[in-house]
Amino acid sequence: MTLHKTAIPILGEEIVPRFDLTTEVIILTTAEFSDIQDKKIIVLPRSSPDELCHTLLVQEINTLICGAIEDEYYEFLKWKKIEVFDGVSGNWSHAFKRWQTQTLNSGDIFFTRMIEGRLI
């Protein structure tokens, strides 16, 4: 059984809008795309994209789901063989469920809003 680690920078229940502002990251371990085997939250001492990249490498992350990320860090993580879904916003658990079903795309938005009396 191969374990897969997915990291999501979070702020409460939401994905942090910008990678460089991250102070908390949730790490979810699954067997392939199945149920969560382990879940942990790492709190960084300050927001630092360099420290976050280091943490992702030390934790042996396979996939990163994040908001906006500077090209320098995106390219570095891709070079380190981490799959990156960037530009994702909204509830982190919705994004993770979409990743599990292999329907997550970079740029996905998971907010519900009321417009003219209808939820969209």
**Sequence spans of domains, the chain:** 3-119
Pick the CATH number of 3-119 from 1.10.20.140, 3.90.78.10, 3.30.420.130, 3.30.70.120: 3.30.420.130
Residue 111 is predicted with a pLDDT of 77
pLDDT digits (tens, 9 = 90+) for 36-95: 889 999 999 999 999 999 999 999 999 999 999 999 999 999 999 999 999 999 999 999
> Which residues lie closer than 8 Å to 100 by C-beta, 6 or more apart?
30, 33, 34
| pLDDT exceeds 80 at position 17 | yes
CA distance linking residue 116 with residue 87, whole number of Å: 27
